[in-house]
Amino acid sequence: MFFNLVYRNAQRSRKENLIYFFTLVTAVASFYIILSLEKQDVVLYLKEFESDAINRLLGLMPLLYVFALFLLFFLVLFANRYQLERRSKEFGVYLLLGMQQKRLFWLLMMEGVLTSLFALFMGIVTGGLLAEIISLTTSRLIGQGIIGHQISFSFQAVLYTAVGFLVIQIAALFILGNKLFKEELHSLLYGGVEAIQQMGNAGGNWLMLLSGSVSLGVAYWIVLIYFKLFHLMMLLLAVVLGIIGTILVIRGVARLLNAMALRTKKNETKGLYVFTIRQLQETIANRSTSVAIASILLMLAMLMLANGSSIILSSSEDLENDQQVYDFTVLGENDEVEAFLTSDVMVPYVENLNPLAMGYLKTIEDIEEGPVDWSKLRAQIVSALPEDVEDPGNTGSTSMSGDYPEALNLLGALDYRLDHPYTIPLSAYNRLLGAAGEEKAMMNEDEVSLYLNTRFMTTDQDGKLPVLESIIDKARFDEEPLIQINDKAYQLTPLLPMKGLVTDRSITITAALIIPDALFEELVDPVNQETYWNFTIPDVLVEKEGLMAPMKEASDLISTTSFQFESYLQNFGRQLFYVVAGSYTLLYLGFLFLVIGCTVLALQFLTQMSQTRKRYQTLTYLGAGREQMKASIRKQVSWYFLFPLIPACISGIVGIRAMQLFLVPYISNPGVFIPFVLAMVMVFLFILLVYAFAVYRTAVGEMDQLRWKPTGE
């Protein structure tokens, strides 16, 4: 009999309070997703090439697990409090009929455990499915065809999820159960005395609203000014002012609803207008701090979702670098490296072998400025600057950004060190072009070519530099040399296709000169040279075995030597690690904060609805119809969710703008930043809308349980 009662009550709780059950399922799914991270395809791949870094990341997962456990404990505590308050009359009846408190306590605990087991099953299934979707999506979006997908299921994650969830669920029920049974029987049966509302006076409320608005305004100003500078103390001040301002604004506006209801004209009282405002005012004003905290959680969720997605965006260009040509770069004594790479053991893995030499030009003692004079070229580029852009040479600043005009980026690249540039022999660059499938270049003895890394430039849709190309074309037509090397004039050739010189992307050369081999031997001291031995995996081997296996075998062979080397997969893994470490954590916490914020709002509204349901019963006796009350509830839910959402969105927009100013210099295609972030914001708003609709349906269900007058419609 007792166990049948437990089962029926648990089943009824799940059916009548889907938001409560959904909250428990969400908590379980959140635990599983973060604990199963080590089984993700991307992480399994990174273990092969960035094992130390990924092990450090996974070593931090227990801290994230404890942090999530802490947050979800309060979420579960809040959800269970709503559930127990909703059933307080039922518990009072049990006690009135003679059930002992100890037996009622065990009834409550067993119901909670049974519901938790159902939630655990649903949550693990949901979390496992979401983990597979995340794994498959990331392996396809950022895996570049390298990372495969394999279905995985982490039993260790299931174990820790079950233990963590059941511990916080039992702890929450134990705390709330003890608190519940300390109340008087009358309080359980008829509810407690409603708290007296402190609405303050109109002047004080307006002052509160004004103070909150000023605090938020100052916080926004600090963020926009100091976020890019990363001034820690000022940003901390902005956070404190933002929290205080949000609480004051929501509390001030909620209290002013009272004045709004009092000043309502007679012709505005139709459709339960005053009742709706009074209910909304009471729901928010009595819980303004909770609503403000929910608003802050929503703002944090929006920023973390936007920031996590922007990390993927800012790293996608590195992961999708179409300038990459070589699979391996080896450094060491040239004779030894050449002998090893041409040995029988390495020949099956080596194609397009290219000893690419780079070095600095010799300096003539009489020339203090440097061996290269490019003042004529610089003057042409300066003349191409937009009218509102100042020559960076006048300010002493050299910088590049994806949103700068092309001429300004060119000056930033060339001013950096074109007077003492890197030089590359034409034959080595031609071997690079051949490996990339491009036509080889021809060059006369009095010609040189510019090498520019277009990853840092503003290019057209074809990836070209139209301003520089037009300057070079005009100079060639006029037969005007634009560069002098050691006082000898040289023509600039049309720009060659720009390709990655080495495998390691951390070796970034912004600008260099490609010169004839004879000139390279004449002007570059061997002491100032460095030779990078580059090669690719043969296409035949890739078609037969794929890219991963032969690259892993080649890496193992090179690892047996003392040579320094970098492989494409190692480099790709390093870039991928930054994406995983940043975006996974931020997106996870963003969705976690979003769910917590929405759940707090939902359960708080439903708690207030449960406590004031007698008012709706009274309205039926006063002649109010069912549709009128549904319309009132719909307006209450809409405005109740908008109250915290509006300041959260304003704060979120300011934060996103600050991130945009900070991140755009690191994004080669900043035009897609806002659409990408807006997509995440739309997901955020959709989830919020789902919660609001669920609250409305649950509230209407509560209202439908009232005893209606026959003439109430």
Question: Residue 89: its pLDDT value, please?
Answer: 80
Whether the pLDDT of residue 673 is over 70: the answer is no
Find the range with the poorest average confidence among 174-188, 330-344, 358-372: 358-372
Whether the pLDDT of residue 192 is over 70: the answer is no
- Residue 555, token pair as written in the block: 């890496």
Contacts of 398 (CB under 8 A, 6+ apart): 392, 411, 412, 415, 416
State the Cα–Cα distance between residues 632 and 271, nearest whole angstrom.
7
pLDDT digits (tens, 9 = 90+) for 543-560: 887 777 788 888 889 988
**Nearest Cα residue to 599 out of 70, 76, 172, 162:** 76
pLDDT digits (tens, 9 = 90+) for 280-318: 888 887 777 888 889 999 998 988 888 777 776 665 555
- The percentage of residues in the chain with a pLDDT greater than 90, rounded to a whole number, is 8
Does residue 54 contact residue 149 with C-beta atoms inside 8 Å? no
Cα dihedral 607, 611, 615, 617, rounded to 10, equals: 90
Residue whose entry in the numeric block shows the structure tokens 């009999």: 1
State the Cα–Cα distance between residues 692 and 695, nearest whole angstrom.
5
Whether the pLDDT of residue 396 is over 50: the answer is yes
Question: Residue 572: its pLDDT value, please?
Answer: 66
Mean pLDDT value across the chain: 78
Q: pLDDT higher for 538 or 409?
A: 538
Whether the pLDDT of residue 425 is over 90: the answer is yes
Residue 426: band (very low, low, confident or very high) from pLDDT cuts 50, 70, 90: very high
Inter-axis angle of helices 88-96 and 101-141, nearest 10:
150
Whether the pLDDT of residue 132 is over 50: the answer is yes
Question: Residue 533: its pLDDT value, please?
Answer: 92
Neighbours of 425 (CB within 10 A): 22
Find the range with the poorest average confidence among 30-34, 418-422, 576-580, 651-655: 576-580
Give me the helices (H) in 362-449, please.
375-383, 392-395, 406-417, 426-435
**Nearest Cα residue to 32 out of 169, 159, 149:** 159
Question: Residue 190: its pLDDT value, please?
Answer: 67
- Residue 596, token pair as written in the block: 């917590």
Does residue 83 contact residue 18 with C-beta atoms inside 8 Å? no
288-293-294 Cα angle (round to 5) = 95
State the Cα–Cα distance between residues 290 and 608, nearest whole angstrom.
13
Q: pLDDT higher for 174 or 150?
A: 174
Q: What is the largest CA-CA distance in the chain?
A: 107
Find the range with the poorest average confidence among 20-24, 201-205, 439-443, 503-507: 503-507
Residue 272: band (very low, low, confident or very high) from pLDDT cuts 50, 70, 90: confident
State the Cα–Cα distance between residues 677 and 670, nearest whole angstrom.
11
Burial zone of 397 (CB within 10 Å; 0-12 exposed, 13-18 middle, 19+ buried):
exposed
State the Cα–Cα distance between residues 310 and 307, nearest whole angstrom.
5
The continuous run of DSSP H or E covering 30 comes out as: helix 18-35
Whether the pLDDT of residue 257 is over 80: the answer is no
State the Cα–Cα distance between residues 654 and 658, nearest whole angstrom.
6
Question: Residue 144: its pLDDT value, please?
Answer: 45
pLDDT digits (tens, 9 = 90+) for 569-587: 766 666 666 666 667 778 8
**Nearest Cα residue to 257 out of 235, 224, 279, 238:** 279
- Residue 580, token pair as written in the block: 């995983």
